Structure 1
Amino acid sequence: MKFKFGLSFIFVLIYNCCLAGLSPENGIANSDYHYSATVEKPTDSIEQLKKQIKGFAKKKDYQNAIVHSKKLLLKAKVLSDSSHITNAYWRLGYYYKILDQLDSSYFYIDKAYSINLKLKDSIGAGDRLLDMANIQKSLGDYNGGMITATEGLKYLEGSNEIESISGLYQNIAVCQKELGHPKEALRWSDKIFSLLNKHPTADISTENLYNIKTTRANILAALKDYGTSLKILDSIAANTQASNPSQFARAICNKGHYMWLEIKNNPESESLQLDALRIRQELNTVPGLISSTIHLAEYYFETNKPLALDYAQKALANSKKTNNSVAILEALDLLLPLKKSLGQDVSEEAIFYSNVQNTLEKTKQAVRAIYAATKYDNDALEKKNLMLLAQVAIKEKQNILAISATIISLILIVFVVLYKNQQKKKEQLEMAYKTELRLSKKLHDELGNDIFYLMTQVQKEGQDIANPQKVIILEGLDSIYQRIRDISKEFTAIDTGDNFGKEFFSLLNSYSSTKTKLITKELPSNFWDNVSAEAKIEVYRVLQELLVNMKKHSNASLVAITCSKSSKQVVIKYVDNGVGFSLKGNYLGNGLKNVENRIKGIKGNIIFDSKPNEGVTATITFAI
């Protein structure tokens, strides 16, 4: 029992240690991890934590918002809830950015980005890359910001996330301008407006639209197109004077600055910049105050150095409040030469400048390292996925090839079977035709000649021809002889060449007599040109069979035969006014059954329509 109790105790101890170890990964933000003792056992639900975080954010209590976001992160990790883990990471990045702790902000947003990639959430990944690119831009890492923003476009371009895409374009435009490439910056700005024109109903916030227009004005000023730049700023000022004092102050501050760049010591420029500073002091917007005091320090730099120094010192003080290294260095770039020209000691500021510059450079390098590691992992994962996709594609290709080979084999088998059947039918037709010719010859040459010989013997001179019995025998022999000649005639060879039309027409006319009138129309000389020899033979025999049946059984006085032809088939219609027959039951005798088989042999069709005492209609169709 003691042993079991000891094991249980060790297990609980290890479990608690693991929970304590669930704090965010070691790295830049380690200094913030003192909270773990207070959040290692979160009891609040996910939704309760979110409500608490929103409440702190609303009060601008961002420190508590961060603490509760870390609780949310821990809770989500315990539950293995990826969507809430990435949401917690994003919240931490967002609140750290508000506090200008950009390295910590970047660290957490990068974590959110990594999970978005694992979840294959391309929209989320693109949005997080936009956040990361903006942080790099804020740190003055313009090349890094452009690289990150361009990576974000891979996930978002072509989607309906117009605001995020325009944000990435905007980031690249600003970075290009700051790197001294205003023409390239203007090209990216043009892409934003082209995108917005294509999607006029896109949900873009008013604040973002003002930022996009202000950036364009800044780029045009860098290109020394002050006229167009000032028009844009005037438009923004007119639209925001009553409704958005922060944007209004920004517009008139930039306008005053660009008027000064165009014409030095412009009195209107001074007035506009002082008005902007007054509004920003009333609003107490520290970033705005930094911008105004730096512009005023530049304005008075040559004409009133003590006043310029005063504004530079104010810019430095405000920059220190936000711990904005880029702004601090920009203020010091003005403050150091001003103090030096006024004969003041600059050693303290020079040391501070060096320290800030080093810190900023280290932060840039750290941020780049974070993204480089994530990008390496992402590239490795993407490479692995591509290899898996390639393997799947190879298997799919192999399956397709196997299926294709099977289908082709089946088609070949079907083709061979059909071809063999067709050849067999063709051979059968040829055999039947040869048999008919052989029988015809045998009937004519042997049986016919033998009967004729008997007739001559009966008629020999000196015999009693007048004997009634001999007369009957002679008449019978003559009748048999004539029938044999008719049969022989029916099965003589048929010319399927150029003379077939004449032979066919002769066949039809040969069945016309005083008792039966046959009506037909002479066909064009090229009527049978595209018809195969087999089809010609079978059509000839079928009509011959129909006419023989008519002569033997129908007592028809009138027969009509018509032939027509299209590009795909031949239609032959036979009509007589004979006794007809009933279509009920087994109405096809041997003769008509033979007719039907012949037509099927050439892939044709024959339809009979008849009633007793109403004649017969037969419609023959076959493909050319």
Structure 2
Amino acid sequence: MILKKRYFPIYIIFLTILLFTQSCEKKKQNNTPKKQDLTEINKLLTIGHKHYENGEFDSSYFYYNKAKYAAEIKKDTSRIIHSISWMAQMQRNQGDYTGSEATAVEALPFLENTDKYPNGKWNIYNQLGNNYLYTFDNDNALYYFNKALNIKTDPIEKANMRNNIAFVYMEQKKYKDAIKILSILTLKKEVLDDAETYSRILDNLGYCYYKVGNSKALDYLKQSIKIRLERNNDQGLIGSYNHLFIYYKKSNLSLAMNYANLAYQKATKVNAINDRLECLELLIQNSTGNKLKEFSILYLKINDSVNKVRLKAKNQFAKIRYDSTKEKDENIKLKAQTVLQKEQQKNKNLFMCFVVGIIITLSILVGKFLLVKNKREKIKSSYNTEIRIAKKLHDELANDVYHTMAFAETQDLSTSQNKEILLSNLDTIYSRTRNISKENSTIEAGPLFLSSLKEMISGFNNNEVNILTNGIDTINWKALEENKKITVYRVLQELLVNMKKHSQCSLVVISFKKNEGKLQIDYSDNGVGATFEKLTSKNGLQNVENRIQSIKGTISFDTKSNKGFKVSFMFPI
């Protein structure tokens, strides 16, 4: 139990520092995952797609790029891949195959080593495959088309990917390998149910049969063109007409040129620039005279215009990416600065908390030290008081009591004279006991202080000593601090006790006056006085000096042997 009491203040100090430090820390963030708000990203994607459908590719690219950046902030991988796929497609459509490849490659780190986002994977691999196909890198085209084929996606998408692989074989002049793939596809239910895919496969298969000299070629080409005409598939008809041009080129050039013109008209209608140029190449190669000149001029004009448009689009896309990257870098830098500032502020707050904690700890320790010191001083003061009382009882009362007891035992108390002497001795003992009690009793420091002070002073007034006070009623004792009142009371009490013991005086004068914000008290008597050496040896006067200094006062002694005793002290009111 004693040990618990001893260490209790340490527990309090530790708990205070702990609670204060915790209060300075930032509130812990709620780590519970919150549902992402994807409204803004979806809005950007919708705007981007709308511009794409309107042929406003630069604006479409801008919004898809913003959507990508917003998705990166939200860490939404699905929408990052979706945005990249559309951006790569736009670049490829504008003939910027290198830029399209670079954009599509950005998605690969999100796709590798994961089975998530199958549709996104399919789109990116398909984009890369087509880019390599258009740049005549057939090996890489096959690589990415096969990667796309191995992804678990919609059956029709797999059929389209197999058609792309067959097309690569066609570019490599591996027509038999292409026929194996395409002929199987024509038997698939999902292909038969999808007219666009079915017509594309039939057209490619007819072209391959033509290349290997198979008589079934024309039948497949006609089946394909029939489906495309029924569905008004102008984009698909461009390919069908081109293949029929190639089929009839050697056997019926007039019919072949007719198909070439039809292909050019469809390409012009759907604004398929590459197809227009390819058709014009065919027409130029098989024309003469004014037609050759007409087609050649048209080709140069379109080609020049296309190059300008593509260069402008390429630069525009590059600028959008540059501006976005610059803005992103600036945001990252700003975010880093914000994080740094927050970290610095956090460290500053922690340091301040630490300093305040140290100050609180030191304050508590100093307070405890002062309490202990004050307790010790009180114990010491009580001990000294007990010693002083014991000494007074021994010096002033013991002998009187002994002599009175001896007188009572040896004298005849029946006589009136002896009774009077006994009563006088007892009265003397009573008076001395009362004086000792008053010297060590509690001091009234409230409204009755002045009357208590006067009573104490008058207690030393008798037939032998006359005590005069001057100005005691002019002092505003109510405005004086309690400890200063007690000090005045004890100092004057010490001086009067000292006077009674040693002075042998007949007159004492005590003056009170206010002197420039200080209370000055002068004591003087006409006693025997004392030398300075004797004064310093008296504990009572040493106590007087210590008391005055404790209230930031000053004291001076003026005394000489046989010439009286004077003391003057003052302290701030």
What TM-score comes out, normalization by structure 2 length? 0.48
**TM-score relative to the length of structure 1:** 0.44
Q: Greater relative contact order: 1 or 2 (C-alpha under 8 angstroms, separation 6 or more)? A: 2
Computing the radius of gyration over CA atoms, which structure comes out larger, 1 or 2? 2
